[in-house]
Amino acid sequence: MTSAAREPARQGALDFAPAPGAAPLPRMILAQTGYELRTLLRNGEQLLLTLVIPVVLLALFGGTSLLDLGPGPRVDFLAPGILALAVMSTAFTGQAIGTGFERRYGVLKRLGATPLPRSGLIAAKTLTVIAVEVVQAAVICAVAAAMGWRPHGDPLSVLALVLLGTAAFSGFGLLMAGTLRAEATLAAANLVYVLLLAVGGVVFPLDSFPSGLRDALGLLPISALAEGLRDVLRDGAALPGGPLLVLAVWAAAGLVLAARFFKWE
Amino acid sequence: MARIWGAPVAEPSAPGPRLDSMAPPGGNGNAVELDGLVKRYGRTTAVDGLSLRAARGAVTALLGPNGAGKTTTIEICEGFRRADGGTVRVLGLDPVADARALKPRVGVMPQTGGVPGTARAGEFLRLVASFHARPLDPAALLDRLGLTAHARTPVRRLSGGQRQRLSLAAAIVGRPELVFLDEPTAGLDPQARHATWELVEQLRAAGVSIVLTTHYMDEAERLADHVVIVDRGSVVAEGRPAELTGAERQLRFRARPGLDLEELLSALPPGSAAKESPAGHYLVEGEVEPELLATVTAWCASHGVLTEDLRIERRTLEDVFLELTGRELRS
């Protein structure tokens, strides 16, 4: 019996004598990040949300004249909006649903019993979101470029917008995951995603709404991110103040509320 | 050493070792010390002035009916819940205030769940191992628990017993000083139960302190150095298994139903008791000495009754448990 022959050798490696100790924090965070990325990339629904839907919307509305997207090349309007949508899908929708079910199934509690501190878990989740966003941006930019997109503008402004947007969406995603039942989070996060996709200036220009409503919609985090990215990538603006301010307020509110109300189990 | 409230106390058959003598030189002798622990959920008092000591290097078993407060007590020790009253010391530290220092030293196996369904078994164990400075080899540990063939299986496709074993592996992979196992063998088949018991014995032999909860009396009798029976949020009895069961014996036999037990009792020494339950199954309790056995068999012979399966037994932990916590069903 091969298993019987192998057992003593393998079990020789098991010394149960206590030798406790935590790994260095950066190593724990990297391990958790790698783990979150692997499980996320294996999850088909997640890939649909983060990659398939944005790319399909970009190709559909960029390649047809179904919508009036205003003057200029259609892709110049669409690509920044789709990038904003990608940030929302990963930082908000995906994170809210994933974390909500982790909480429901006691995974957060169980991880809380390991040496990985909660701040380390949040850091790992943030790194995971950023890594996914990098992949999304690469794919979306490649598709847009194939459609003739030639963005200009200041990369640092883009980075500032995306990071603030990520912070704002993560804050509210975690707030939802940490306070609602997992099923409620699933429904609400998807509803918010669809609503903000419709009214947040992602693919439907805000100009098509009545003016009073348009100003209010412009204060949504998705609109601020989409419009800010358009200001930079299409119009060449540097550090668009209005959108950055709106996103900063949303980010501060979301993170403070999440830190205050998040329940780990 | 045995403290029993509200129940007749069997004298210890032998003086137990003083727990203090297990203390490592210069160290605190107890892995866990709880004094007057109180935890309320709304109007329900889940833990009501519970005190206990779990010695280092020993296996301490918390026994009790459902809702007795075992899991709440364990979760307070793990730092998941705050006590409303009393003091908690785990490895001499406060589970909440000293959480950072304690987490690497304490392994936790929760009662259910906690292992993400999308992860693969081996992947999850490697992840938990990577949080520790000197972990066990995850592959060797999977092998020890018979999970090697399932290393690449997503957790949601493991059987309940396989998940339990993975959860146990995750609790010990960091080579902790102390592990809390909340019903470690619930739902396991006999093979897996025995494998788990052997692992617990191996951990104990290596110097790990273990605190576990269980519903299984045989598990407590086999594994525990110290058994704590908990009911309605406080300790109703504790001691070594042999102390709790005591030296008391009972005589059981089978015979035709409907023997006149009143008549039998009149032949027995005072203080004896006899009952028939179920029909045809007889139990005689009291000072089971050679003459009592002779009296019972002589009485049966004089009535032309043939006894079958006649045997003399010690009380089991289950007898003690039912005596202390009653027989009515708990929610």
Placement of tokens 């003399």 in the chain: B312
Query: Range with the lowest mean pLDDT among A167-181, B191-205, B257-271?
Result: B257-271
User: What is the SS3 assignment for A35?
Assistant: helix
ipTM over 0.90: no
Write out pLDDT tens, residues B104-129.
999 999 988 788 888 999 999 999 99
- Is residue A264 within 8 Å of A112, Cβ to Cβ? yes
Q: What are the φ and ψ backbone dihedral angles of B11, each rounded to 5 degrees?
A: -65, 140
Residues in chain B within 8 Å Cβ distance of A106:
110, 112-114
Average pLDDT, stretch B4-11?
43
Placement of tokens 């009653």 in the chain: B326
What does the alpha-carbon distance between residue B11 and residue B239 come to, in Å, rounded to a whole number?
11
Average pLDDT, stretch B300-311?
91
What does the alpha-carbon distance between residue B134 and residue B265 come to, in Å, rounded to a whole number?
65
The structure tokens listed for A265 are: 């189990």
| Residues on chain A bordering chain B, Cβ-to-Cβ distance under 8 angstroms | 6-7, 10-11, 13-23, 27-28, 31-32, 35, 38-39, 42-43, 102, 105-107, 109-110, 112-117, 265
Q: For strands B281-285 and B178-182, give the pairing.
A: unpaired
Residue A197 C-alpha from the chain's centroid: 14
Residues in chain B within 8 Å Cβ distance of A20:
104-105, 132-134, 174-177
Placement of tokens 């205050």 in the chain: A260
The structure tokens listed for B167 are: 């959860």
Largest CA distance in chain A: 79
What does the alpha-carbon distance between residue B50 and residue B238 come to, in Å, rounded to a whole number?
12
Q: Is pLDDT of A146 > 90?
A: yes
What does the alpha-carbon distance between residue A239 and residue A98 come to, in Å, rounded to a whole number?
33
Residue of chain A whose Cα is closest to the Cα of B201: A16
What does the alpha-carbon distance between residue A190 and residue A185 come to, in Å, rounded to a whole number?
8
Q: Is pLDDT of B1 > 70?
A: no
- Most A CBs within 10 Å: which of B76, B109, B132, as the mutation test of the A interface? B132
Placement of tokens 């949020």 in the chain: B233
Write out pLDDT tens, residues A1-48.
444 444 444 445 689 999 999 999 999 999 999 999 998 888 888 888
Write out pLDDT tens, residues A149-192.
999 889 999 999 999 999 999 999 999 999 999 999 999 999 99
Nearest to B140 among A13, A22, A23 (CB): A13
Write out pLDDT tens, residues A49-84.
889 999 999 999 888 877 777 778 889 999 999 999
Which residue has better confidence, B213 or B216?
B213
Report the pLDDT value the prediction gives residue B7, as an integer from 0 to 100: 41
Residues in chain B within 8 Å Cβ distance of A21:
104, 132-134
Contact B114 A20 (CB under 8 A): no
The structure tokens listed for A84 are: 């904003």
Q: What are the φ and ψ backbone dihedral angles of B81, each rounded to 5 degrees?
A: -130, 150
Q: CA triplet A21, A25, A28: central angle to 5 degrees?
A: 85
Residue B330: pLDDT band (50, 70, 90) is low
User: What is the SS3 assignment for A58?
Assistant: helix
Which residue has better confidence, A44 or B255?
B255
CA A1 to chain B, closest CA, distance in angstroms equals: 15
Report the pLDDT value the prediction gives residue A125, as an integer from 0 to 100: 94
Q: Give the burial class of A71: count Cβ atoms within 10 A of its Cβ; 0-12 exposed, 13-18 middle, 19 or more buried.
A: exposed
Contact B127 A265 (CB under 8 A): no
Question: Between the CA of residue B28 and those of A213, B33, B88, B108, B226, what are the distances in Å?
Answer: 68, 10, 14, 21, 18
Average pLDDT, stretch A109-126?
92
Residue B217: pLDDT band (50, 70, 90) is confident
Residue A160 C-alpha from the chain's centroid: 15
DSSP secondary structure of A147-160: TT----S-HHHHHH
Report the pLDDT value the prediction gives residue A220, as an integer from 0 to 100: 96
Contact A16 B202 (CB under 8 A): yes
Contact B123 A32 (CB under 8 A): no
The structure tokens listed for A199 are: 């009214």
Contact A105 B104 (CB under 8 A): no
Alpha-carbon dihedral sign for residues A159, A161, A164, A168: negative
R_g (Cα) of chain A, nearest Å: 21
Report the pLDDT value the prediction gives residue B12, as an integer from 0 to 100: 41
Residue-averaged pLDDT of chain A = 90
Name the DSSP letter for residue B22: G
Amino acid making up residue B106: V
- Is residue B200 within 8 Å of B184, Cβ to Cβ? yes
DSSP secondary structure of B209-253: EEEEEES-HHHHHHH-SEEEEEETTEEEEEE-HHHHH-S-EEEEE
Report the pLDDT value the prediction gives residue B133, as an integer from 0 to 100: 96
